[in-house]
Amino acid sequence: MHGIYPLYRKEMADHFSSTRFLLISALIVMVGVLTASMVGMSIQEESKGLAKPTLLFLLLFTATGKLFSFIQFIGFFGPLMGIILGFDAINRERAQRTLSKLAAQPIYRDAIINAKFLAGVTMITIVLLAIILIISGLGIRLIGVVPGAEEIWRLFIYFVLSILYISFWLGISILFSVTFRTTATSALASLAIWIFFSFFLGLGSGLLADAIAPVQGSSVTPEMVLKHAQVQKIVSSISPMILYSDATSTILDPMRKTTSSLLLMGPLERLSLSRFQNPLPLLQSLYIVLPHLVSLVAITLLCFGICYAVFMRQEVRTI
């Protein structure tokens, strides 16, 4: 596409030279190394004496060491990286009056926003890849287990899910950078959404479930409890965080066979869970998280689509 390459190149150069990006990657890499070494050492302790430990490698990413697991960390702080990469994408150009100059060059207008989004996604990919490689490298040294093909595939799917998830937040923050004129407002708006999804939606889904399907009074039936749990699950699955954490914990942990809680399982499902204790094959895990994967792709594309449409429809006078 016309003009996208020089723009992309410039965005990448800007990202690599920006201080805030270096800061956040340093933070993420540091925490990644810390969790990996903590978890790695505790696995080392526990697996001592086991004749043939299975699926140890993926535990590096899923086990909660002293504080939290790596996937919880990315679930919580990954959005921050997306927001930092995108919150001033368009309104900074507007503030320094370069946007109208770009519009006067022989490029399509969508090249501007596409290049920014692509450059952001590339940065996310680079940082995540770096962290995963650091953890794998450290982990292999610490626990001395080389990952098999299936574990690498699982890790790869996790990698793709994480890129999508953080790209969603990149999309949100670019959208706010298109709609708000000042960078401070767009940053705060993105952070507000982040806080809403990470803290309040959990609480809110409980409250909403209480209102729609109350579990109280003298005669509490199992149906009431079930309905309450269903409502809560539906509401909380609006949140990309819930989607992401459900999907990633299932894909990285072959012992997990469902994303629903014990309460919501049917009797047969519960029966099969107690009968068959073996890990799920990769393909079956993938089937379980496929709806989550599709939803993540959908909300990311939707978010970028809105952002694109808003940007393309803005009068040049205002840009």
Partner 1 sequence: MSEEFIIETEGLTKRYGSYTAVNQLGLNIREGEIFGFLGPNGAGKTTTLLMFLGLTEPTAGKVRVCGLDPARDPIRVKEQVGYLPENVGFYDDLDALENLRFVARLNRVPDNESAKRIDELLSLVGLHEEAEKKVGAYSKGMRQRLGIAEVLVKEPRLVFLDEPTIGLDPDGTNRMLDLISSLSREKKITVFLSSHLLDQVQRICDRVGIMIKGNLVAVGPIEELARQRWGVDKEHHTLEEIYMKYFKEA
The residue ranges that bind partner 1 (CB under 8 A) are 2-3, 6-7, 9-10, 17, 96-108, 315-317
Please name the residues in contact with 4: beta carbons below 8 A apart, sequence gap of 6 or more: 107, 111, 114, 115, 118
* Shortest Å, Cβ 18 to partner 1: 9
Which one, 3 or 79, has the nearer CB to partner 1?
Answer: 3
Minimal distance, residue 3 CB to partner 1, in Å:
5
Closer residue to partner 1 (CB): 9 or 270: 9
In the complex, the smallest distance separating the C-beta of residue 87 from partner 1, rounded to whole angstroms, is 18
Cβ-contact 58, 155 below 8 angstroms: yes
Distance CA 84, CA 20 (A): 8
CB of 19 to partner 1, least distance (A): 11
Q: Residue 109's closest CA among 11, 223, 7, 252?
A: 7
Torsion sign, CA atoms 49, 155, 235, 258: negative
Comparing CA positions, the residue from 60, 43, 44 lying closest to residue 136 is 60
Q: Shortest distance, CB of residue 170 to partner 1, whole angstroms?
A: 21
2 vs 48, which CB is nearer to partner 1?
2
HSE (side-chain half, CA atoms, 13 Å) at 181: 4
Complex with partner 1: residue 30 or 103, whichever CB lies closer: 103
Judged by beta carbon, residue 99 or residue 145, the one nearer partner 1 is 99
